[in-house]
Amino acid sequence: MKIINFAALFGLVIAASACNQNAKPANDTEVKADSGKAVVTHMADTSNTADVLNTYLDLKNYFLTSKVADIQSKAALLETKLKGIQGCTETAAVAGQIAASKDVKVQRAAFLILSKDVIALVKGAKFKSAPVYIDYCPMADGGKGGYWLSANKAIENPYFPEQMKECGQVKGQIN
């Protein structure tokens, strides 16, 4: 069973890429005049990205409790929100894997991938929010390190909440 979960996770690692960092959904467009020519540009749907961020932060907080059912529920909601953003299909699939798993270790492994994608999405979005911190734990992912987003400057490690809750450091800030 663990081999199947690992194989599925490995497949998602290969297939997953950051949501389009431009955070461009398919729906909103704006027409601009440029030397008499109409140019159509896509405008980022910041409400969708803000919803993804808020749901992601809730999910990260559930990892601090290690309650599998709560993690599954919030990941399923995040999957739905990610599907609403063009280019985030693969990231939504990673959230779906977290929602489908009943093993917190498998969920945390997928959260590593999910976090990279959501960080890229939020960096590419243009919306006003309180500062969001990019945190890093060098011990996560078997010593390879792992990132996550947090609304608080104080470190609360979702990868090792029982053993090393304060392990990590703030690596950046998104305003």
pLDDT bracket for residue 47 (50, 70, 90): low
pLDDT band with cut points at 50, 70 and 90 for residue 132: very high
**HEC profile of 35-61:** CCEEEEEECCCHHHHHHHHHHHHHHHH
Model pTM greater than 0.85?
A: no
Q: What is the structure's pLDDT at 46?
A: 56
* pLDDT score for 20: 52
Position 37 scores a pLDDT of 34
pLDDT, residue 73, reads 98
Residue 82: phi and psi, rounded to 5, are: -65, -35
Which of helix, strand or coil describes residue 166? coil
Q: Count the residues in the chain.
A: 175
How far apart (Å, rounded) are the C-alpha atoms in residues 71 and 75?
6
